[in-house]
Amino acid sequence: MKGATYASVAVALTLVILKFWAWQRTDAVSLLSSLADSLLDLIASGLIFFAVHYALTPADREHRFGHGKSEGLAGLAQSLLVAGSAVYVAVEAVTRLIEPEGLREPGTGVAVMIASILATLGLLTFQRFVAKRTGSIAIAADAAHYRADLAMNIGVILAVILTAYVSWSFADPLFGFAAAAYILHTVRKIAVQSMNILMDRELPDEDRERIARLAMDHPEVKGIHDLRTRSGGSTHFIQFHLELEPSLSLAEAHSITEAVERTVKERFVEAEVLIHADPFGHPEPRDDF
């Protein structure tokens, strides 16, 4: 995860420098839109860098459940920054539609965007590997962001070519506007994922059903209730009540709950599991959802 954040910051910084130079040489609003997005990529990647490093800090006296929610905060801040860049690009695109301008040195713009595509592809490959191995929401959000960049970079090349070589002066600003809309669409997904972490949203129904099945697979388990789950970034928190035969000794009940805990953690490797043993048939208030 730390390696992915280093790579993200390095790529973002490189692309900002290249795109700023190319925008100065071409004066293309489509390149400006890509530059604005990369500039905010750099800020967002910086946020992710600090959030991931903080999230990986072990639990301490003041943060008994760890620091995983920093990933959600970083993802939410990232989505707000990127939304701001989309609005800025849309305004610039409208201005250029009203007052069209030609492009200078379009070959420079195309070359820089091809380099951007290659760098982004390399970063995405690494991020996809890290997100799959760790389940990090922050890294996944950053990867989603760069996937949007990849599509944008390809579109910028088309816009520059159409504007400079086919004389479609509206292609450049229209693409800038379309790119802004696409960025906003991507931001919505990132924001929702981040809010799910911050608001302790339950894990997906299929995961909850799998947890219940794993618990019930133990031959001594009579039932399960009050299953509660949440995600703290790359760590899941799972707790539930396990219904056991009332005649079991405390040691026997403890042995069974530990066996069930091991089974659940084999499937949810990064999870913290808390199980409360109840005597089967004992009446008590239960969640009705």
Q: Is residue 286 part of a domain?
A: no
13, 151: one domain: yes
Q: What was the pLDDT predicted at 120?
A: 85
Range of the domain at 157: 2-198
| Between residues 207 and 92, the one the model is more confident about | 207
Q: Which residue has the tokens 């911050």?
A: 198
Label the pairing between strands 221-232 and 271-279: unpaired
Contacts with 279 (C-beta within 8 Å, 6 or more apart), sequence order = 243, 244, 245, 246
List the single range of 10-19, 217-226, 243-252 with lowest mean pLDDT: 10-19
Q: What was the pLDDT predicted at 218?
A: 94
β partners of residue 277: 242
249, 191: one domain: no
| Between residues 271 and 212, the one the model is more confident about | 212
How many domains is the chain built from? Answer: 2
- 92-126: pLDDT as tens digits: 777 767 766 656 677 777 888 888 889 888 888 88
What CATH number does residue 56 fall under? 1.20.1510.10
Q: What was the pLDDT predicted at 208?
A: 93
Q: Is residue 238 part of a domain?
A: yes
128, 214: one domain: no
**Which string of DSSP letters, residue by residue, matches 136-151?**
-HHHHHHHHHHHHHHH
Q: What was the pLDDT predicted at 234?
A: 66
How many helices and strands, by DSSP H and E, does the chain display?
A: 8, 3
What CATH number does residue 271 fall under? 3.30.70.1350
Please report the beta strands in the chain, taking only residues with DSSP state E, as ranges in sequence order. 221-232, 235-244, 271-279
215 conformational bin, left if phi > 0, alpha if psi -120 to 50, beta if neither:
alpha
| Between residues 83 and 243, the one the model is more confident about | 243
pLDDT band for position 226 (cuts 50, 70, 90): very high
153, 230: one domain: no
145, 261: one domain: no
189, 214: one domain: no
Among 198, 233, 261, the domain-final residue is 198
Q: What was the pLDDT predicted at 102?
A: 59
